[in-house]
Structure 1
Amino acid sequence: MGPPKATTRTISQEAFDEVVKENMDDLGMDPTEALQDAIQTLTLQGVDLSGIITCVPGESDVKDNPVIQCLDRLKQMDSGLGGQIDDKNLDEMVDLFDKLTEVCSVEGSGNAAIATKNGGVELICSVCSKIPSGCGRALVSALKTMASLLHDVQSTGTFQKSDGPRMIIGILNDNKQNLDILNSGFGVVASAATGNEILKESFMGLKVDELIMEIMSMHKKVNIQSLYDAIRVLLTPDDNRVVASQVYGYARKFAKIGIAGALVDSLHEGLASPGLVSASIALKAIAVNDEICKSIAEKGGIDALLRCIDDSGEHGNKTVARVCCSLLSKLAGSDANKSAIVEKGGMDRLIKLSARFDDDPSVLQEIMSIISVLSLRSPDNAARAIEAGAGDLAIQAMQKFPAAQLMQRNACNMIRNLVVRNPENRTILLKNGIEKYIRKAKQNHDNCKDAATDALRDLGLDDYNM
């Protein structure tokens, strides 16, 4: 067993204000000094001050904080909500939500934590459940606010206790034709499920997968960005509190009911689809086993990806190039798909792409990753890769970008797979001077040591451990 986890200490706003007051009254500190001393002392004691409004007494008041002002007014309105909201209240409510979203979205401000600590999550859940149908504008604003508040395990835990998942799925089910509500609603799903395995399970229990499939079928030509984000988050094992995540099983369910196929359809639209990048990332999250990877290929996924890769080079779109290469690398994990990619001219197309983006190591590292996967346990593919120019790519990129750690490591991995079963490739690469670049990568980057050592060994060098 590892060491016990340290318990984080918390403090109320009232207790914090009392510490500042005691510094002033008992120790004679001026207001600014009293505030700074309280912050420093409590921080050293391991007290979590997130969500605490740190203001100098006398110069400002907790109630002057814009987050608190918005929450107080929304609480008043929530307590008075009945069956209808008149236009005046509706406009004011939207303004309050929009202001709260704006201040809570400021990075580093701590405002989202302040809102959470002062009951913001519970309040927004309550308001959302009471907003009448037909008040779509207020609902969209409220959902955007909710997404901005769900920023850590505490806030998402409160969302869970407030029956937030059921409420959100209910809203989405009731508004399947309203794209604005769908977009903001799935934004809440994505924010809530990030880093929280319990909420992923809750949403799956509420059949969010079937709802996603239904909405994708209804809106085939429409890009709902947050829906793709929700798929990615629901299928990402990002909760370090659990030993074994269930997301692998969820991915299989997503594929089984047709979500993978629907995402492939969006790939066929190519660069014309505004959701191409998000759909590709979501599809990569679903492609968790050989069967799913092959089914994606059978639906034309490889053909679509290779076209997108070609087009990304033609149009200089680095983001599309990176994401599509990353997905293709995942699909290439299937031996059947490896053969299909190579037969469709994949090696030559990847090398051509590398020439288009020879100034961007982040693209080159993805290309090297695919070639590495394609060449794994396949001497024929390794030979094809060298013929296409993979060796030159490795040498030129390692020489040009010595500080690009991940690219350097991917290059070492690719070289290893190119030579481990192909002695003739070793001769070619060594003759062209690859050894010195591998040794530099090993010397300069800790994360390259193992990959570089393996590459040197498989190149047949005796002193590979040096």
Structure 2
Amino acid sequence: MGPPSKNARTISQEAFDELVKENIEDLGMDPTEALEDAIQTLTLQGVDLSGIVTCVPGEGNVRENPVIKCLERLEELGFDNNGSNEMAGLFDQLAGLFSGVEGSGNVAIGVRNGGVELVCSICSNIPIGSEKVLVSALETLALLIHDVQSTETFRSSDGPKMVVDILKDGSESLDILNSGFAVVAAAATSNEVVKELFMELKIDELILEALNRQSKGNIRGLYDSIRVLLTPDDNRVVASQVYGYARRFAKIGIARALVESLRAGLTSPSLVSASIALKAVAVNDEICKSITESGGIDAILKFIDDSGEQGNKIVAKTCCSLLSKLAGCDSNKSAIVEKKGMNKLIQLSARFSDDPPVLQEVMSVFTVLCLRSPDNAARAMEAGAGDLAIQVMEKLSTVQQLQRNSCLMIRNLVVRNPENRTTLLSHGIEKFIRRAKVNHETCKDAATDALRDLGLDNYNS
């Protein structure tokens, strides 16, 4: 069941059960028919049934739901050191139910039955010394918080302060940091108010402290929280404050600390998350330049080389995307070229010659490097960017975004370099661009611009 619209009507579990009961007693339906009729009727009326246990009432089925049973037992336990092992087991059971079969509705059932409030309350009372149960509770909470309704419940339950306090007290534990920051990431997703609350609680200082303390740790939850806090993803607000948050992150040294984490060596999933986090911080030229001065480009180019050798497409794509962002700063363009970045990108494209997502990112880097830079455009052609464009447009003609990226790169290769036009036209690039223009709606403008800057008169045809 998909997420409900913000105008969807709701119904209580009791009202749903009563409707099924009426179908049985008043209309003479058998239990299965009564249940199906109730679901169909309410769905047609636009009622949100997420979180409703859809079973025949009166047989103890609702209370026997495993999610509800776990929550009720947790509420009975409160927090008692003697019952911490049982509590950890219950949280682990809930986490399995929430992350198990997609579409089961278990998370919605947990939220509707007070799961967010209950787990927040329990987390507030678990001492840092009871690390096992605390980590299990935080991991469960991160799974429970999955939409705007649950993030609002988390906020009204004083969740932000609770998590920040845990992160302060448990900063020496990698597991507490990972699970705690996973809650931050879940709670701040698509909720501008929660982002603001975390910033008021100085979450940026905690992030910096954790990065410095765990410089060689794979704190994936922390990297994800940076990305979410700096993403303007709440469509309920006209103007997000995340650009200012990114500058604040950079000002206190988070960009530099992220580079240090990258250079210290991370496992593949954390490397990807850290690279995406660093890209989120890099919102202006000053920050992009500081990342380079901290050794960021050296690290990224090394990862690009390594990803090619290891065949790691996700790392290759992510690092190229970050490099493209940093290349937007003119001084960084020179640094990338001087460090033989263009040759490394061509080598990477050869290793992933049949992988459109990687090739798209490689072409995006070349497009940015050559923007307003005829010297870079000449060096790109020498490195093999022109050959790459021809090969991609010929062999992967059905991939729309890749064809569009090819056209954009070609334009920047030739717009200020007449000699590049001659080379590309002599190798038949015109027919490939025209084919992309005809076959792909998203390519029309980019293809037209490429044909024009190649010096062709009939570029509009």
TM (norm. structure 2) is 0.95
Shift of 1:76: 1.3
Shift of 1:350: 1.0
What is residue 144 of structure 2 aligned with on the other side? Answer: 149
Task: Tell me which amino acid in the other structure corresponds to 1:16.
Answer: F
Task: Indicate yes or no: 2:391 matched with 1:389.
Answer: no
Task: Indicate yes or no: 2:112 matched with 1:122.
Answer: no
Q: In the aligned structure 1, how far is the partner of 2:66 from the partner of 2:219?
A: 31
What is residue 103 of structure 1 aligned with on the other side? Answer: 97
Match runs of 1:25-424 below 5 Å? 25-57=25-57, 61-78=61-78, 81=79, 84-86=80-82, 89-106=83-100, 107-269=102-264, 275-424=270-419
Shift of 1:405: 2.4
Q: Structure 1 pair 428/445, CA: closer, same or farther in 2 (3 Å)?
A: same
Q: Provide structure 2 residue ranges, at least 5 long, that are not aligned to the other structure.
A: none
Shift of 1:19: 1.8
What is residue 17 of structure 1 aligned with on the other side? Answer: 17
Shift of 1:181: 1.1
Shift of 1:331: 0.3
Q: Note the alpha carbon deviations across 1:31-76, whole angstroms, 9 max, x for none.
A: 2222222222211211111111111346661111111111111111
Shift of 1:6: 6.6
Q: In the aligned structure 2, how far is the partner of 1:321 from the partner of 1:230?
A: 22
2:455 is paired with a residue of what secondary structure?
A: coil
What is residue 451 of structure 1 aligned with on the other side? Answer: 446
Q: In the aligned structure 1, how far is the partner of 2:34 from the partner of 2:437?
A: 52
Q: Note the alpha carbon deviations across 1:376-430, whole angstroms, 9 max, x for none.
A: 1111111111121111111111222223222222111111111122222222222
Q: In the aligned structure 2, how far is the partner of 1:453 from the partner of 1:8?
A: 45
Q: Note the alpha carbon deviations across 1:410-457, whole angstroms, 9 max, x for none.
A: 111111111122222222222212222222323333322222222222
Task: Tell me which amino acid in the other structure corresponds to 2:74.
Answer: L
Contact 1:270 1:307 in 2 (8 A): no
Q: Provide structure 1 residue ranges, at least 5 long, that are not aligned to the other structure.
A: none
TM (norm. structure 1) is 0.94
Q: In the aligned structure 2, how far is the partner of 1:344 from the partner of 1:456?
A: 32
Q: Note the alpha carbon deviations across 1:201-244, whole angstroms, 9 max, x for none.
A: 11111000001111111122222111111111111111111111
Aligned-residue Cα RMSD (Å) equals 1.7
Moved more, 394-403 or 286-295: 394-403
Q: In the aligned structure 2, how far is the partner of 1:119 from the partner of 1:178?
A: 29
Task: Tell me which amino acid in the other structure corresponds to 1:165.
Answer: P
Shift of 1:274: 6.6
Q: Structure 1 pair 133/315, CA: closer, same or farther in 2 (3 Å)?
A: closer
Contact 1:270 1:304 in 2 (8 A): no
Task: Tell me which amino acid in the other structure corresponds to 1:20.
Answer: V
Contact 2:216 2:266 in 1 (8 A): no
Q: In the aligned structure 2, how far is the partner of 1:118 from the partner of 1:230?
A: 27
Task: Tell me which amino acid in the other structure corresponds to 2:48.
Answer: D
2:303 is paired with a residue of what secondary structure?
A: helix
Contact 2:84 2:133 in 1 (8 A): yes
Task: Tell me which amino acid in the other structure corresponds to 2:369.
Answer: L
1:460 is paired with a residue of what secondary structure?
A: coil
Task: Tell me which amino acid in the other structure corresponds to 1:85.
Answer: N
Q: Structure 1 pair 442/230, CA: closer, same or farther in 2 (3 Å)?
A: same
Q: In the aligned structure 1, how far is the partner of 2:388 from the partner of 2:330?
A: 24
Q: Structure 1 pair 271/452, CA: closer, same or farther in 2 (3 Å)?
A: farther
Q: In the aligned structure 1, how far is the partner of 2:239 from the partner of 2:222?
A: 25
1:275 is paired with a residue of what secondary structure?
A: helix
Q: In the aligned structure 1, how far is the partner of 2:390 from the partner of 2:251?
A: 43
Contact 2:17 2:56 in 1 (8 A): no
Moved more, 413-422 or 438-447: 438-447
Shift of 1:23: 2.1
1:27 is paired with a residue of what secondary structure?
A: coil
Contact 2:218 2:267 in 1 (8 A): no
2:397 is paired with a residue of what secondary structure?
A: coil
Contact 2:182 2:222 in 1 (8 A): yes
Shift of 1:335: 0.6
Task: Spell out structure 1 runs of 4+ moving beyond 6 A.
Answer: 271-274
Q: In the aligned structure 2, how far is the partner of 1:121 from the partner of 1:362?
A: 38
Task: Tell me which amino acid in the other structure corresponds to 2:181.
Answer: F
Q: In the aligned structure 2, how far is the partner of 1:371 from the partner of 1:9?
A: 50
Q: In the aligned structure 1, how far is the partner of 2:412 from the partner of 2:73?
A: 63
Task: Tell me which amino acid in the other structure corresponds to 1:131.
Answer: I
Task: Tell me which amino acid in the other structure corresponds to 1:150.
Answer: I
